[in-house]
Structures are given as structure tokens and as C-alpha cells.
């Protein structure tokens, strides 16, 4: 697994956690940082990641990029970063790329999409797994990451852009969400549940349903939505051809064979009438 590192809180906690798991022999961990060439502070921040990687016995490398300033800078930088990270993963033979997104990130992203008028399909963001991308911390709150960093005495950098209110995300994080929490303290959980439902509905295309169970599409979509909304991990849905759908609190929607082997993983949902009865 390749861990995307920036030297910030999220990635330092992710690196520390996965290095611990890797030390048990469960997986082999590599760490990689990307300098976009946009901020002189980035080099020092990546040094924090390099120091932690050395302390944990994890191989660390950096890719230097040059992203030209201009319109849509953040999106272009993100695309360039993921290209560089996937190239690095291929070089070391990593199967997965892990990022440090957490629950607060996901709630912010869903709310930003809502404010921009995104349809339901656009709300299924930052799932635990998206193809080769893994987000192991996405069910954890930011304050839990802070507590972990204090307990483990992790040194991390704070990106100054996190305080720049010219960015919509910063305003959503520091202004909009705090206000909404005064109305309902569980608003973050509600937003994440909405993202789970969107993943459940739109990651299972009708063609996939027809392949697994030609007559179950409507019932499966309704039941998978209900199971995700209720976070019902006991619900099981017969999909036909030996496949069963279930909702997992960590992985999201999982389709597996009846013998328990995972066949599709997160964001590959289905349900039938059995989910409602349970």
C-alpha cells in the first residue's frame, strides 16, 4: 500500500497507523509525498512526513511537480497529484493508494455539493474504497485524529490554506457547519449517511443488477438504500447466482458470494425484500 503524505495531521496519523499495521506483517507500506511547486513551505512539511516514515521504518519518496498558477488551480493540482501518486504506486508495486480523508472531510464535501446543486449521483463522495483508492480514516472524526496525534506525539504541519476564507471549503468548515451544528449536533452524521445512500443507489448500475438478478432491480435498489440509511449491518439480500448483498459499517456496501468471499467490495450495492424484513 502506498500512503499519500503531506506532513499534515491527516496523513501523519494515517502513516503512523498503517506503519503499525504493516509492522504486523499484514501488508507492506510505502509512503510518498508530492510537492506541487506552489508553496515554499511544502518542502519543510514533507520533511515531517519523511522523518515519521524513517522513524517507522517505511520507505519514503517525493515527486516534484510544477503546476502553473491560473484558473481552477486546486483541481489541476489534485489531478497532477493523483497522477504522480499512481505512478509512484506502480513503481513500488503497490496495489492500493491510501489517503487521509476523514469523516469531517466527507461531510464538508457533501455539503459543498449540495450548495452547488449537485444531483443525488454527485453526493456519493469519498467512500472507503474507490477502485485503487482507500480511505481508511473516513469513518473517524477530526478530533479523534487530533487525539491520536497527541497520544503518539506526532509532529504535523498546518496548511495555511486551511485558514484562507477565499476557499469555499474553508468557509463551509469554519462558518456553515458550525452554524448547522447549533441546529442539529448530528448534522455531520446525516450528511455522511446521505453520501452512503448515494453510493448505494448509483454504484449499482441497472446493467449490474440485471446480470446478478434480472427481476430484483427495483427491490434491490430500494432495500440497499434503506439498509444504508438505517446502517443495518444485519440485513442480507439474495441477489441470485450465489451472490449476497450486505452493508458493512467500515466498507459500505459489499457484495459477496454465499460462502462469504468478497466479490466486488465497497460501492457495489444490492438488496431485496429480505433487507426490509430484517
Count CB neighbours of 236 within 10 A: 19
Nearest of 160, 104, 159, 140 to residue 13 by alpha carbon: 140
d(CA 253, CA 271): 10
CATH number for the region 2-163 comes to 3.40.50.620
E-assigned strands of the chain? Answer: 2-5, 30-35, 59-64, 97-98, 129-130, 133-134, 236-240, 243-248, 252-257
Nearest of 262, 237, 232, 259 to residue 247 by alpha carbon: 232
- Which pLDDT score, from 0 to 100, does residue 205 have? 44
- Which pLDDT score, from 0 to 100, does residue 221 have? 58
Ranges under pLDDT 50 in the chain: 205-217, 262-278
Q: Residue 143 is placed in which grid cell?
A: 478530533
Angle of CA points 1, 127, 185, to nearest 5°? 125
Which residue ranges make up each domain of the chain? 2-163, 203-277
Amino acid at each position: 500500500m502506498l500512503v499519500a503524505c503531506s506532513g499534515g495531521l491527516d496523513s501523519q496519523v494515517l502513516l503512523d497507523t498503517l506503519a503499525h499495521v504493516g509492522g504486523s506483517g499484514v501488508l507492506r507500506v510505502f509512503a510518498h509525498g508530492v510537492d506541487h511547486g506552489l508553496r515554499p513551505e511544502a518542502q519543510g512539511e514533507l520533511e515531517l512526513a519523511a522523518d515519521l516514515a524513517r522513524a517507522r521504518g517505511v520507505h519514503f519518496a517525493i515527486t516534484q511537480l510544477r503546476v502553473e498558477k491560473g484558473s481552477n488551480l486546486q483541481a489541476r493540482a489534485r489531478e497532477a497529484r493523483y497522477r504522480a501518486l499512481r505512478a509512484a504506486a506502480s513503481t513500488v508495486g503497490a496495489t492500493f493508494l491510501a489517503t487521509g480523508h476523514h469523516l469531517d472531510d466527507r461531510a464538508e464535501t457533501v455539503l459543498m455539493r449540495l450548495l452547488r446543486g449537485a444531483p443525488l449521483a454527485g453526493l456519493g463522495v469519498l467512500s472507503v474504497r474507490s477502485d485503487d483508492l482507500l480511505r481508511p480514516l473516513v469513518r473517524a472524526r477530526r478530533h479523534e485524529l487530533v487525539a491520536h496525534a497527541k497520544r503518539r506525539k506526532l509532529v504535523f504541519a498546518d496548511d495555511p490554506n486551511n485558514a484562507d476564507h477565499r476557499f469555499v471549503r474553508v468557509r463551509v468548515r469554519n462558518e456553515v457547519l458550525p452554524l448547522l451544528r447549533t441546529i442539529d449536533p448530528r448534522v455531520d452524521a446525516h450528511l455522511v449517511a446521505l453520501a452512503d445512500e448515494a453510493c448505494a443507489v448509483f454504484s449499482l448500475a441497472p446493467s449490474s443488477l440485471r446480470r446478478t438478478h434480472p427481476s430484483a432491480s427495483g427491490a434491490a435498489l430500494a432495500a440497499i438504500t434503506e439498509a444504508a440509511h438505517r446502517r443495518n449491518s444485519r440485513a442480507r439480500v439474495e441477489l441470485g447466482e450465489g451472490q449476497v448483498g450486505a452493508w458493512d459499517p467500515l466498507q459500505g456496501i459489499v457484495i459477496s458470494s454465499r460462502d462469504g468471499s468478497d466479490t466486488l467490495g465497497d460501492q457495489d450495492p444490492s438488496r431485496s425484500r429480505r433487507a426490509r424484513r430484517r
